[in-house]
Amino acid sequence: MSDLYDLHAHTTASDGTFSPGQLVRYAKERGLYGVAVTDHDSTDGIAEAMEEGQRMQIDVVPGVEINTEYEGKEVHVLGYYFDRHSKSLQELFSKLRTERITRMNRIVEKLDELGIVIDRNEIIKEAGEGAIGRPHIARVLIKKGYALDMRDAFYRYLGLGAPAYVERFKLAPADAIRMIREAKGVPVLAHPGLVGKDALIKELMPAGLLGIETAHPDHPAEARARYAKLARELGLIATGGSDFHGSGAEHRGDLGSVTVTKYVVDALKEKSGLF
């Protein structure tokens, strides 16, 4: 068996299409040693994934991806090996889920102004038990024939600058990092190449940033090498993952398409206050 991990994957607990159990079984099928469950603003899928991981002999890394904003740009902060029962984190996730519903309602209103009529209940049904996000709205748009695929839905309607775009609740990345550290976890800046503000990495270190996601499907080879070098220079853990969202999520990679070795996972554990 390989010692490869995919440290960035989503389930139906947020905007993925695979249940936590399905994700773990797929990780086994893909020949992975382990997989991280990093749902957006939710830890609800971790328990099921870990239970299935024991059965399938797949090492499940507990994680989360917190959506934040910095100077008008979306910045995602990954957290690993934290106390997922942390009161402050769970209160934050509850607030973020409420804000997601408010954002959904505003997006639906904007779509209606464009002559695109979709029912809020269709989005809620699409999300199931997961935290509602723009991918759920995009899937409804695709099903109703308003968009060809996920990329098209975001380009036409939902992405930054598109006519139905609505800003998210503004949480600063430094605050998310501090909360992960307070919960004894390891904060990692997700896909910095999508942020395009490399100076932010150094700025976040005083808040407790411990790693950067150097390998990601949207990082070309040059970017991966640059961020890996930066991680070495700054003494940060270099992580990587596919950002897998499941079937129909063409905007991200297949599970296991971007991996790291067990060495990286051991480094995360070493920095966690839970071990």
| Contact status, residue 79 vs residue 63, Cβ threshold 8 Å | yes
Best CA proximity match to 75, nearest among 185, 181, 212, 179: 212
- What integer is the mean pLDDT of 226-233? 98
- Per-residue pLDDT at 192: 97
Instruction: Please provide the average confidence, as pLDDT, over all residues in the chain.
Output: 94
Neighbouring C-beta atoms of residue 122, cutoff 10 Å: 17
For 43, which DSSP code?
-
Q: What is the pLDDT of residues 91-105, one digit of tens each?
A: 999 998 888 899 999
* Cα atoms in the Cβ-side hemisphere of radius 13 Å centred on 222: 0
Tokens for 70?
């910095």
Domains of the chain: 4-84+173-271 (3.20.20.140), 93-158 (1.10.150.650)
- Per-residue pLDDT at 1: 57
Question: What number of residues does the chain have?
Answer: 275
Alpha-carbon span 237 to 234, nearest angstrom:
9
pLDDT at 129 over 80: no
Facing residues of 76 across strands?
67
Q: How confident is the model at residue 249 (pLDDT cuts 50, 70, 90)?
A: low
Best CA proximity match to 165, nearest among 114, 130, 128, 204: 114
Best CA proximity match to 43, nearest among 3, 4, 74, 88: 88
- Per-residue pLDDT at 253: 85
pTM of the entire structure?
Answer: 0.86
Query: Of 49-58, 127-136, 209-218, which gets the smallest average pLDDT?
Result: 127-136
- Per-residue pLDDT at 226: 97
Neighbouring C-beta atoms of residue 60, cutoff 10 Å: 25
- Per-residue pLDDT at 202: 97
- What integer is the mean pLDDT of 29-35? 97
- Per-residue pLDDT at 189: 98
Alpha-carbon span 4 to 20, nearest angstrom:
19
Alpha-carbon span 226 to 193, nearest angstrom:
10
* Cα atoms in the Cβ-side hemisphere of radius 13 Å centred on 179: 23
Contacts of 87 (CB under 8 A, 6+ apart): none
| Contact status, residue 248 vs residue 139, Cβ threshold 8 Å | yes
Best CA proximity match to 192, nearest among 215, 158, 221, 167: 215
Q: 145 or 129, which is more confident?
A: 145
Q: What is the pLDDT of residues 44-89, one digit of tens each?
A: 999 999 999 999 999 999 999 999 999 888 899 999 999 999 999 9
Alpha-carbon span 175 to 180, nearest angstrom:
9
- Per-residue pLDDT at 78: 98
Query: Of 34-38, 150-154, 199-203, 245-249, which gets the smallest average pLDDT?
Result: 245-249
Sign of the C-alpha dihedral computed for residues 218, 211, 47 and 66 taken in this order: negative
pLDDT at 251 over 70: no
The enclosing H or E element of 173 equals helix 173-182
Q: What is the pLDDT of residues 178-193, one digit of tens each?
A: 999 999 999 999 999 9
- What percentage of the chain reaches a pLDDT higher than 70? 98
Alpha-carbon span 238 to 233, nearest angstrom:
11
